[in-house]
A and B are shown apart, each in its own frame.
Chain A
Amino acid sequence: MRTRFSTATLAAKSALATNAVLAAALVCMTSLASAQQPVTIRAGTVLDGKGGVRRNAVVAVEGSRIVKVGDGTAEGATYDLSRFTVLPGMIDTHVHIGAHFGKDGRASTPGETPAEEALYGAENAYAVLMAGFTTVQSIGAPSDLPLRAAIASGRLPGPRLLTAVSPLSDTRLTVEEVRQHVRKAVADGADVIKIFASKSIRDGGGQTLSDEQILAACSEAKTLGKRVWVHAHAASAVRAAAVAGCTTVTHGSQITDAEADLMAARGTFFEPQTGLLLQNYLENKARFFGIGNYNEAGFKFMEDGIALNDTMFKMAIRHKDLKVNMGTDAVAGSHGRNANEVVHRVKVDGQPAMDAIVAVTSLNAEALGLQGMIGSVAPGLEADLIAVDGDPVTDITALQRVVFVMKGGKVYRNVAPAR
């Protein structure tokens, strides 16, 4: 018993040390240029990411951080965005940043070199940043690691990148092997643990990992101070994840009110996808068709799944105590269109616009454990700010018209709005 605790303590300490290093890696940016002098942004409207709305504000940035949010009619702002709405840089808690269509236009990329693969990841990163997403969590692949490092160095333009490195899907593992997988992922630099507790929607979504295996993964992750994202469609898998104290259930297409209640009671974050994932598959059918379970049956499941997910989501948001965060599960073809998920939730599923905005900013930051750093516009937080053309509270599609992107105080995008 003592040995296990001391091992766990050592592991936790090293994990914390790693956390510190990784947290530093996430925020560490060469920001020589932004450190020189204060930058002021005049905003017609500021959405603070926590539900607050402020008109005619000035956001002051020094170095990589917001130092002040005040009233402003002062002349001489560095960036005059008075025609636009300023809000926190958006966050996507579930992408596959390396996923792309290869040279032949298809989603499977045999014969591709590691260099080519790395460059596709860099392309996706840039597209996502240009679309106003300043932090994304990639679920995940080992190839995410050099991309995370390149972005964190400040030299490659892209969102702050978190990664799960190596997801767990092998149902034959013993509980001890499950724990070892978690420890290895952490040792390899994972920011988050990913497990597949059910089949893909294309195979019907039934539970795959046993309740014990799910518990082993989520308790080990908790011991190591890591969050766990659990892929779960079937209600039983969702329940097991909530009971096991896992951080987040992603997908949850088959949940009912009972599972929503349970997740709310346990504080489990719930990350459904209703507006981009399946639609992207259908729009790009020719590029996916024939790869693995992307067959006619699989596509049928996905087609049918759109309406089912909408129904599920409408039910889920009736649970006001359920934390519904914003993750797109962006795969090849989706990167850069991440805001489509937010728009669909509001326009089709009827989520109040401000709830959706909070979900893609401060609630997502909380789901990532980074609420002290990103996800809202407030003094002391990182200057991850975007400006959009329009008022997303009254017209959520404004989130698809990003004209300005600042990350860590550095301006990456500043374009005229489309007329």
Chain B
Amino acid sequence: MRTRFAKAVVATKALLATNAMCAGAFLCMTSLAAAQQPIVIRAGTLIDGKGSVQRNAVITIEGSKISRLGDRTEHTTYDFSRFTVLPGMIDTHVHIGEHFGKDGRASNAGETPAEQALSGAENAYAMLMAGFTTVQSIGRPSDVPLRAAIASGRLAGPRLLTSVYQLTDTRLTPEEIRQFVRKSVADGADVIKIFASKSIREGGGQTLRDEQIAAACGEARAQGKRIWVHAHAASAVRAAALSGCTAVAHGSQITDADADLMAARGTYFEPNIGLVSQNYIENKPRFLGIGNYDEAGFKFTEDGIPLKLSMFKMAIRHKDLKVIMGTDAVAGAHGQNAREVTYRVQTGGQPAMDAIVAVTSLNAEALGLQGMIGSLAPGMEADLIAVDGDPVTDITALQRVVFVMKGGKVYRNVAPGR
């Protein structure tokens, strides 16, 4: 009896230690079940995320990783001969905590922290079910426990990165800005977020000065962190590119010159043209009256749709510009993330494979995770989805996700059409 307890105590201590290691690391997953035996997936079509297409492919998964890609197998665990298998999709810009509250409004008045946390969990599940196995949340402190819960392997959701905070205060000195960056990092941020211009609902003009932007991006680089810069006005975009910031989000007012500059500097460009504005308009009563969601703001939002579309068509003519896929998903949008991709192809005219690469391997690169996610290759994490249809010829197939695997664990496996 005592020996059994001693063993139980030792085992428990080992497990406690494992928990401690996993805390805070968004990749760490308890995947005992997945570790038992290889899983073999037969795919009618395999899209590797880097532009290649293979018919009648076989993917072997061991533990949490892809171990082999081939074309023949004796045994099949999941037969997706009718479907297309591709890497789990990635969204580089969501607001995972944002939701409509009990009164159906985006303001969440009177909500408790527990209710807010569960709404985040709901959004996480919706995105995972929609085939997004990694998302970057821009970002609030309440993202942190959600990230931990998902990383533990116990809460079903996409791998979650977060900026924790967002810098909007234009009165900060460059040194205070560097302190903000350091605090973000100390508090567990995976990425830094700054607002270098106003919201589109207020016209989008530059707010931070060039030197403030440079301070932020310089400090982020010194800390080894990527930095996302909200910038509509062309001047703000240029300042971000010149400062070596990782990514510019929005960029609704850019011209060819700014696209050239971002391409030259290797700045990732993340326009949001197919979901964020449309979602606001579709849910107008739920937003109207909150902050700058007023009639003027909605007018800017409506007018912005064709403007952003023109901007996007211009941007993708720059073949050396890295155009990544971020939705800026807010309340109402979580789970509809693939709409952005569909819009870019069907309305924006982007070649389907370019859009698919953007939402997989290019996004992984923008997150600094290209060694781990975003493409199907031996050694990569087994984050993969199956969709009903061929997204290269019909991009809307990305909105018909039938299978989701993350880290070798199956989270969704449904008949098509449901």
Residues of A participating in the B interface, judged by any CB pair closer than 8 Å: 33-34, 36-37, 39, 78-79, 101, 103-105, 113-120, 122-123, 126-127, 143, 146-147, 149-150, 153, 155-157, 282-287, 303, 411, 413-416, 418-419
Contacts and interface: CB of A to CB of B under 8 A. Distances in A.
Contact of A114 (B36, B113, B413, B417): B113
A411 B155 CA distance: 17
Given A123-B149, A155-B126, 11 more contacts: A113-B113, A119-B121, A122-B117, A123-B155, A146-B115, A156-B121, A282-B8, A284-B8, A303-B1, A413-B413, A418-B36
Nearest to B414: A411
B377 to A, nearest CB: 23
B154 A36 contact: no
Q: Which of A116, A122, A143 has the most CB of B within 10 A?
A: A122
B37 A155 contact: no
Interface string B402-418: 00000000100111011
Where chain A touches its partner, the secondary structure class is mixed
B125 A157 contact: yes
Contact of B117 (A36, A118, A155, A287): A118
A259 to B, nearest CB: 30
26 contacts: A36-B418, A37-B417, A78-B415, A101-B19, A103-B19, A114-B117, A115-B116, A115-B145, A116-B145, A116-B149, A118-B114, A118-B115, A119-B117, A120-B149, A122-B149, A123-B152, A123-B154, A126-B155, A143-B114, A150-B115, A150-B122, A155-B122, A284-B12, A285-B8, A286-B8, A411-B413
Nearest to A419: B37
Contacts of B72: none
B120 to A, nearest CB: 8
Nearest to B122: A155
B393 interface: no
A150 B118 contact: yes
B401 to A, nearest CB: 12
Given A113-B113, A283-B8, A122 B16 contact: no
A375 B155 CA distance: 26
B112 interface: yes
B112 A415 contact: no
B129 to A, nearest CB: 9
Contacts of B37: 418-419
Contacts of A149: 115
B12 A287 contact: yes
Contacts of A78: 415, 418
Contacts, number: 121
Nearest first, the 3 closest Cβ-Cβ pairs linking A and B are: A105-B16, A118-B114, A115-B117
B154 A126 contact: yes
A149 B238 CA distance: 47
Sort chain B's interface into a size bin: 35 or more
Contacts of A104: 16
A90 B169 CA distance: 53
A185 to B, nearest CB: 19
A358 to B, nearest CB: 29
A265 B278 CA distance: 64
A147 B12 contact: no
B369 interface: no
Contacts of A414: 410, 413-414
Contacts of B20: 105
Nearest to B411: A413
Contacts of B77: 416
Contact of B15 (A105, A114, A303): A105
Contacts of A105: 12, 15-16, 19-20
Contacts of A283: 8, 12
